[in-house]
Amino acid sequence: MNTAMDARSWTTAARLYNSTVAAWAIGAAWELGALDELAEHGVLDTFEFATRHDLDAASTLGMFRALAAVGVVRRDDTKIVPADAFAEIHQTRSLFHWLVRGSAELFRQMPSVLRNENRAGEFYRRDPAAIAFACKEISTFCYDPWFWSAVDGLGTDFGVVLDLGCGSGERLRQVLHRHPGTRGIGVDIAGEALKVAEKDAATAGLADRVTFVEEDMLSMATRPEFADVELLTCFMAGHDLWPREQCVRTLRRFRDLFPNARRFLIGDATRSVGIPDDELPVFMLGFEVAHDMMGAFMPTVEDWESVFADGGWRLRRKHTIDMVASEVIFELERR
């Protein structure tokens, strides 16, 4: 039997438990604008913030208490200021959001998802719109600098770019802004993410230069406009092409679907190799466990390098990023 004194000594449990609650608070504080406000003004009052955003005051205070419990903010009654961990959490907030908003339902269902008897049909759910929201920001620090270096290094202009698994469409919007003569096509299987993409493209004044197509990239049929595509991109969705046989087949199929695509940029997280369990960086564990639960094959860099030639593409360059999930960008050209 445990006593009250024992409970006080459960400091490891308390730290883990409070961190779990804080992870939810990080996702919420980002979405509700509290993190940005703290970053900008260096201080906020809980109740004034709650009133201004029409939030429940007690729950808002609870959110800040959770952040204070793990050193993200300091709380003096209702006054909140950034604490030591704030800058790091502000920078990595989208990784938390991916977990607690985008993938929450998958993790909540862990016991059921693990049972073989349940692993058929649609055996898990995630929130595609929330994933698209988080990925938009994850991309800015995990891929963008390397993406632009790869695009700038292509040494060729392109009239039409097609983004496979485009999610929120952010990458296409950026490419179109930087290349005013270019048109874009976004392909995604998730209608909810495409609604966000269409709305954002219209807001950015790009509605007449970009189209979005709700299709499964593994099985989509050809369309007349695919013949104009000169640059193919696929970011944070390439692992969905796997396992190997399917990946090779689909890479070959992309050659037929897009006969004028001269370059293909695949940027993705890869399966980590040789990192001890107690040295895993932020995100990697959640990302890999989630994909295991979803039954999604997560290739290593070596796995990827073994499919390009068979898939009809030549690896021109590899940009090793290695931020939080062994990210890499492969720059391919048609063989």
Ligand X SMILES: C[S@@+](CC[C@H](N)C(=O)[O-])C[C@H]1O[C@@H](n2cnc3c(N)ncnc32)[C@H](O)[C@@H]1O
Q: Does 210 bind ligand X (CB under 6 A)?
A: no
Calpha distance 186→215 (Å, rounded): 10
Among 16-24, 26-34, 128-136, 174-182, the segment contacting ligand X (CB under 6 A): 128-136
The binder of ligand X chosen from 236, 266, 298, 328 (CB under 6 A):
236
Minimum gap (Å) between residue 211 Cβ and ligand X: 15
Nearer to ligand X, 47 or 123 (CB): 123
Calpha distance 58→63 (Å, rounded): 9
Question: Which 8-state DSSP code applies to residue 102?
Answer: I
Question: Which 8-state DSSP code applies to residue 119?
Answer: -
Question: How many C-beta neighbours within 10 Å does residue 217 have?
Answer: 22
> From the CA atom positions of the chain, what is the Rg in Å?
22
Calpha distance 317→330 (Å, rounded): 6
Token match 């466990």: residue?
A: 289
Nearer to ligand X, 63 or 266 (CB): 266
Pair of tokens at residue 80: 């909140």
**Number of residues near ligand X (by CB under 6 A):** 22
Calpha distance 171→175 (Å, rounded): 6
Nearer to ligand X, 28 or 217 (CB): 217
Minimum gap (Å) between residue 27 Cβ and ligand X: 16
Minimum gap (Å) between residue 267 Cβ and ligand X: 8
Q: Which element (helix H / strand E) includes 222?
A: none
Q: Does 131 bind ligand X (CB under 6 A)?
A: yes
Minimum gap (Å) between residue 148 Cβ and ligand X: 14
Nearer to ligand X, 38 or 135 (CB): 135
Q: Which residues bind ligand X (CB under 6 A)?
A: 128, 131-132, 135-136, 139, 165-167, 171, 187-190, 193, 216-218, 235-237, 240
